[in-house]
């Protein structure tokens, strides 16, 4: 026979707050059976053992067992000990009910995510092994809020070569992604902050949480209409110059120069969100705006689109006067980004793995966008795809009044799409646009054709 001791089980009973030892023990056992903490069939300790554990008389335990047997909570048979009765089911009365989560979509065309199946696992694992083998011992001590020097040096070299950023490692601060960077800079700059009238609502929400008011700047096919900043009193402006999100146009060269001049004249800081700057398909990617004036532009980037948002790795290339305030806001210790991940990314970038992944995914996403545009032109000619050939998303404009209908039809098809209206600033005076934001990066290769067919069916309804 298996004994309680051999099972290696312990029984914690709370006898506090009840009068009388036997009554307290009986009530505690009854409650544990009722709640399911002691499930049906479980073998209870012998009365002698439990009495010794609790520091009570053996007869007290035996009497409590006998009462619960009589009530039907326990069973006792010669030779098999005392067990929780098989019919003693847990009662869930009073437990909060949680809503059933919505079913996962059959096809995911939500914007903002790369193809997770294309993450370079083998190359990343090789970089992890190398970087951890070669890492100095101090890498595994308290972190540096600036980030590991190996990564800051690798990023400075890469960003200078690939994005035209004037990047000194001492001006780079590693962070947990662009959202983290926006939150930190918002807390440092105060406010208000100008943002594009159509833009990522997550960034607006983060600034609002930090107590920073946002002021919308109108956008058109040439990006933000920066002339509107002349009448705004703001501490900075958050822009997406390479590929306006979500409308899709690049910031016109004359507007680039004008907004930098505005920042110089007013002392404001420009926050350049280069969220998918490497993914331009119709021409060589346009260099970063930061090169026009590194003392007025804070350059923000991450691996969320190029590798995976799961890594939570990003960076800021800061004007010299912002480095110390941002580090103060970030905190003394590095609490956000895993040092092994930083070391791995440094190796991955330095050895060319990052460039190879960018080239591979640039080719794949260009092919997907071409298929999307061609399929819509052939099968749904009444809709229009706006924006340049770049990035991981496209805006499909629909006739006035159709956005809700399209989203409802998409839900029927199990198709997840982004609503263009979600990205509109609540204080915007721009002309209302209707459409859906199609993220063609998220589906794995084998599923993209099916997702595209579902999108065409939805838009043809």
Mean pLDDT of the region 69-92: 78
For residue 353, give every residue at least 6 positions away whose Cβ sits within 8 Å of its Cβ, in sequence order, or none: 120, 123, 124, 127, 347
The predicted pLDDT at position 3 comes to 40
Residue 223's DSSP bridge partners are 220
Q: What share of the chain is helix, strand, coil (3-state, %, to 5)?
A: 45, 15, 40
Report which secondary-structure segment, H or E, holds 83.
strand 81-84
Interatomic CA distance for residues 47 and 27, integer angstroms? 16
Which of 32-41, 93-102, 201-210 is the most confident on average? 201-210
User: Do 107-112+357-460 and 119-355 show the same overall fold?
Assistant: no
Sequence spans of domains, the chain: 4-84, 107-112+357-460, 119-355
| Nearest residue to 271 (alpha-carbon basis) of 163, 195, 384 | 195
The predicted pLDDT at position 5 comes to 41
Question: In CATH, what number does 119-355 get?
Answer: 3.40.640.10
In this predicted structure, the answer to whether residue 19 has a pLDDT above a threshold of 70 is no
Structure tokens at 379: 């099968």
Interatomic CA distance for residues 195 and 139, integer angstroms? 38
> Is 456:437 a contact under the CB 8 Å cutoff?
no
In this predicted structure, the answer to whether residue 261 has a pLDDT above a threshold of 80 is yes
For domain 107-112+357-460, the CATH architecture is Alpha-Beta Complex (3.90)
Interatomic CA distance for residues 75 and 71, integer angstroms? 10
> Is 104:386 a contact under the CB 8 Å cutoff?
no
Interatomic CA distance for residues 245 and 394, integer angstroms? 10
The predicted pLDDT at position 10 comes to 67
The residue written with tokens 């696992």 in the block is: 121
Question: In CATH, what number does 4-84 get?
Answer: 1.10.10.10
| Nearest residue to 314 (alpha-carbon basis) of 150, 151, 149 | 151
Summarize pLDDT for 283-318 with one digit per residue, the tens: 888 899 999 999 999 999 999 999 999 999 999 999
In this predicted structure, the answer to whether residue 386 has a pLDDT above a threshold of 50 is yes
Mean pLDDT of the region 66-89: 83
pLDDT band at 4 (very low <50, low <70, confident <90, very high): very low
Interatomic CA distance for residues 413 and 218, integer angstroms? 34
Mean pLDDT rounded to a whole number for the chain:
90
Summarize pLDDT for 153-207 with one digit per residue, the tens: 999 999 999 999 999 999 999 999 999 999 999 999 998 999 999 999 999 999 9
> Is 443:452 a contact under the CB 8 Å cutoff?
no
- What is the residue-wise DSSP string for 3-43? -HHHHT-------TT-SSHHHHHHHHHHHHHHHTSS-TTPB
């Amino acid at each position: 026979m298996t004994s309680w001791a051999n099972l290696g089980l312990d029984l914690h009973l709370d006898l506090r707050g009840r009068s009388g030892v036997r009554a307290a023990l009986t009530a505690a056992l009854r409650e544990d059976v009722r709640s399911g903490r002691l499930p049906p069939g479980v073998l209870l300790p012998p009365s002698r053992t439990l009495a010794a554990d609790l520091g009570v008389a053996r007869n007290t335990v035996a009497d409590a067992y006998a009462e619960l047997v009589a009530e039907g909570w326990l069973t006792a048979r010669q030779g098999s000990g005392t067990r929780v009765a098989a019919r003693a089911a847990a009662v869930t009365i009073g437990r909060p009910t949680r809503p059933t989560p919505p079913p996962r979509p059959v096809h995911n065309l939500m914007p903002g995510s790369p193809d997770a199946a294309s993450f370079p696992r083998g190359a990343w694992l090789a970089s992890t092994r190398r970087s951890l083998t070669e890492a100095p011992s101090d890498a595994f001590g308290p972190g540096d809020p600036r980030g590991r020097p190996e990564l800051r040096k690798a990023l400075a070299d890469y960003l200078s070569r690939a994005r035209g950023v004037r990047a000194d490692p001492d001006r780079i601060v590693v962070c947990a992604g662009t959202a983290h960077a926006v939150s930190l800079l918002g807390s440092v700059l105060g406010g208000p902050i100008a943002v594009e009238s159509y833009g990522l609502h997550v960034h607006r929400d983060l600034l609002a949480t930090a107590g920073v008011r946002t002021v919308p700047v109108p956008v058109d096919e040439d990006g933000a209409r920066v002339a509107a900043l002349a009448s705004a009193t703001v501490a900075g402006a958050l822009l997406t110059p390479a590929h306006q999100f979500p409308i899709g146009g690049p910031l016109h060269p004359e507007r680039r120069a004008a907004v930098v001049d505005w920042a110089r004249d007013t002392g404001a800081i420009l926050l350049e969100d280069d969220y998918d700057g490497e993914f331009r398909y119709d021409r060589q990617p346009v260099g970063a705006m930061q090169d026009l004036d590194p003392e007025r532009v804070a350059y923000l980037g991450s691996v969320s689109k190029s590798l995976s948002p799961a890594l939570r790795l990003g960076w800021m290339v800061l004007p010299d006067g912002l480095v110390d305030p941002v580090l103060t806001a970030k905190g003394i210790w590095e609490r956000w980004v895993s040092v092994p991940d930083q070391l791995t990314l440094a190796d991955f970038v330095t050895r060319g793995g990052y460039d190879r992944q960018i080239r591979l995914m640039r080719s794949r996403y260009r092919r997907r966008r071409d298929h999307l545009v061609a399929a819509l032109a052939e099968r749904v000619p009444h809709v229009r795809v706006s924006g340049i050939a770049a990035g991981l998303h496209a805006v499909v404009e629909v006739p006035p009044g159709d956005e809700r209908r399209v989203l409802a039809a998409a839900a029927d098809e199990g198709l997840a799409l982004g609503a263009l209206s979600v990205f509109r600033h609540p204080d915007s005076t721009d002309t209302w646009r209707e459409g859906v934001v199609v993220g063609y990066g998220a589906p794995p290769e084998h599923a993209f054709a099916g997702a595209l067919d579902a999108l065409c069916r939805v838009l043809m309804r």
